[in-house]
C-alpha cells in the first residue's frame, strides 16, 4: 500500500483524545510459536471438556464458531487511488446473549487469530457471568500509514459492509488493538445512519460524550488488579512489597503497572516494541507512563536514568519476580522458554500469552496462573455495563462502575478457584470448566430450532 501524502499520521492526530490500544510486539518474539492461536484455544477447550465429561453432541454445539465472515473493503485513498483491505468478523457463540468482542486493525491480523479471539470472548463472557456471547473482528492494515480521513473511510466501510451482522441485540463490537473510542464513534454513527436512528448500544468503548462508560479506559487493568489481589489473598499473602514485571506497555500493561504500584508493589521491569527495561530497585510506573505517552513508546527510556535496557527483550519473562504480567500478544511463553520463567504469579493481561505446553511446565513448577479469560475480563465486564447504561439511557459514576467491576471479578475468581479445588485441576482448566458449563447449559435449554 503506498504511503499517504499526509505528513501527520492518525496516531499523532488522535492520541491525545483517544489513545490507540497498540499491539506490543516485542522484537524477536514473532514466529517462535509452535502452534497457532486457534489450535491452542481448541486444546484448552478439550482439556476442560474432558473434566466436565461433555458428550460429543454437547461439544458439537459450542466448540466451533457459528459464523465466519470475510469481506474485501475497497477504500478510496487521499491521492485518489483505491486500496482493498481484507476484513473479518467471527461470531463464535450467542447462546447466552449477543456476540461481544473487539475489532483490531493490524497488519498481522489473520482469520486464525480472529477465530481464537472470538472463542476466548465466548468463555470470557461466560466466566464473568455476563449475558453475552463471543465475537471478534479484524482488518489487515497498518493504521499508522493512514491519514485521519483514510482511517475514517476504512472504519465506516467495515461497519457498512457488515451492518446486517451488528446490532445491540445481535453483535456489539468494541475497541481492540489499534482501534480507539473515535473509531467506535464512527462505527456507531455509520450504523445509526443506516438505521435512521440513534443507537449508542451497537458498540462499546465509545467517547463519554456519545454514551461511553466512566471507568472503561482502565477497566481491563483494574480487573487484573482485582484478580491479582484475590489470588494473593487466597494464597495467604499480601501484595505490598511484591515485585512485578510487565511485558507490553500499551493500554493494559501501562495501567496495570500503575495500579499494582499504587497497591504497594514494586515494578522492576517493563517492555514494549522498543525493548525491555529493568531496574531492580524499582521503576516509577507513573513516570514511565508519562514518558511513553509523550514519546509514543518507550524508545530511549534507558536514557532517562530510570532503568537499563535489557539485551534481549524476551528476558523480561524470565526475571526473578513475584508477579509477571504478560500484556503483549498471543503465545509469548511457550515450551521453549517456560522452564526459565521464575514468577510465582502469572497474571495474563493479554489473550492467550501462554501455549498449552507452557501451561503444563509452569503448573508443575508451582506458578499460580490467573488465566486470560478471567484475568483480563474487566474490559468486557465494563463494556457490558456500558451496553446496559446505553440501553436504559441512564449513566453511572466511575465509583459505581468500579464497584460493580470488583464485584463481578471477585465472584468470577471465587467460582474458578473453587472449581480448581474440586476437580484438582489448573486454574485455566477450571476457568474453562466454569464457562463451558454455563454455555452448554444455555445451549441445551434453548434447544435446536429445526
The angle subtended at Cα 48 by Cα 46 and Cα 49, nearest 5°, is: 60
DSSP 361-422: HHHHHT-EEE-HHHHTTHHHHHHHHHHHHHHHT----HHHHHHHHHHHHHHHHHHHHHHHHH
Residue 424, SS3 per DSSP: coil
Round to whole Å and give the CA distance between 269 and 320. Answer: 11
Which residues are within 8 A (CB) of 341 and not within 5 positions of it... i.e. 6 or more apart? 317, 318, 324, 333, 358, 362, 365, 367
Round to whole Å and give the CA distance between 96 and 289. Answer: 38
Helices (H) and strands (E) in the chain, counts: 14, 12
Pull the grid cell for residue 69.
Answer: 465472515
From the list 353, 318, 433, the residue with the least C-alpha distance to 62 is: 433
Beta bridge partners of 246: 270, 325
Contact 201, 168 (CB under 8 A): yes
Active site residues: 136
Pull the grid cell for residue 291.
Answer: 514518558
Round to whole Å and give the CA distance between 375 and 384. Answer: 16
Distances (CA, A) of 208 to 199, 200, 212, 213, 403: 15, 11, 4, 6, 19
Amino acid at each position: 500500500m503506498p504511503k499517504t501524502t499526509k505528513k501527520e499520521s492518525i496516531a499523532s492526530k488522535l492520541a491525545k483524545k483517544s489513545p490507540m490500544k497498540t499491539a506490543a510486539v516485542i522484537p524477536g518474539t514473532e514466529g517462535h510459536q509452535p502452534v497457532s492461536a486457534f489450535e491452542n484455544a481448541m486444546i484448552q477447550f478439550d482439556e476442560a471438556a474432558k473434566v466436565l465429561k461433555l458428550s460429543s453432541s454437547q461439544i458439537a454445539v459450542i466448540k466451533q464458531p457459528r459464523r465466519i465472515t470475510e469481506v474485501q473493503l475497497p477504500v478510496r485513498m487521499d491521492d485518489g487511488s483505491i486500496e482493498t483491505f481484507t476484513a473479518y468478523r467471527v461470531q463464535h457463540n450467542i447462546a447466552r446473549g449477543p456476540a461481544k468482542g473487539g475489532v483490531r486493525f493490524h497488519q498481522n491480523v489473520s482469520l486464525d487469530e480472529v477465530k481464537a479471539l472470538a472463542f476466548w470472548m465466548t468463555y470470557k463472557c461466560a466466566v464473568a457471568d455476563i449475558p453475552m456471547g463471543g465475537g471478534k473482528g479484524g482488518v489487515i492494515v497498518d493504521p499508522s500509514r493512514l491519514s485521519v480521513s483514510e482511517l475514517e473511510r476504512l472504519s465506516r466501510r467495515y461497519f457498512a459492509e457488515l451492518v446486517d451482522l451488528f446490532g445491540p441485540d445481535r453483535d456489539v463490537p468494541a475497541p481492540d488493538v489499534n482501534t480507539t473510542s473515535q473509531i467506535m464513534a464512527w462505527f456507531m454513527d455509520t450504523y445509526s445512519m443506516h438505521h435512521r436512528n440513534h443507537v449508542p448500544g451497537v458498540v462499546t468503548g465509545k467517547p463519554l460524550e456519545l454514551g461511553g462508560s466512566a471507568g472503561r479506559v482502565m477497566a481491563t487493568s483494574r480487573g487484573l488488579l482485582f484478580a491479582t489481589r484475590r489470588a494473593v489473598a487466597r494464597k495467604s499473602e499480601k501484595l505490598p512489597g511484591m515485585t512485578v514485571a510487565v511485558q507490553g506497555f500499551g493500554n493494559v500493561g501501562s495501567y496495570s503497572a500503575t495500579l499494582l504500584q499504587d497497591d504497594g508493589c514494586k515494578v522492576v521491569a517493563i517492555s514494549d516494541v522498543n525493548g525491555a527495561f529493568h531496574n531492580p530497585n524499582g521503576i516509577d510506573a507513573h513516570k514511565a507512563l508519562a514518558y511513553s505517552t509523550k514519546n509514543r513508546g518507550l524508545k530511549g527510556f534507558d536514557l532517562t536514568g530510570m532503568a537499563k535496557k535489557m539485551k534481549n527483550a524476551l528476558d523480561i519473562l524470565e526475571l526473578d519476580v513475584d508477579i509477571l504480567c504478560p500484556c503483549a500478544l498471543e503465545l509469548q511463553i511457550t515450551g521453549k522458554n517456560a522452564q526459565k520463567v521464575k514468577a510465582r504469579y502469572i497474571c495474563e493481561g493479554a489473550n492467550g500469552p501462554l501455549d498449552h505446553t507452557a501451561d503444563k511446565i509452569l503448573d508443575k513448577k508451582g506458578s499460580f496462573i490467573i488465566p486470560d479469560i478471567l484475568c483480563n475480563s474487566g474490559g468486557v465486564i465494563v463494556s457490558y455495563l456500558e451496553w446496559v447504561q446505553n440501553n436504559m439511557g441512564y449513566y453511572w459514576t466511575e465509583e459505581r462502575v468500579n464497584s460493580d467491576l470488583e464485584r463481578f471479578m471477585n465472584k468470577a475468581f471465587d467460582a474458578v478457584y473453587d472449581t480448581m479445588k474440586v476437580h484438582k485441576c489448573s486454574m485455566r482448566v477450571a476457568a474453562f470448566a466454569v464457562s463451558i458449563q454455563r454455555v452448554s447449559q444455555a445451549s441445551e435449554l434453548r434447544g435446536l430450532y429445526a
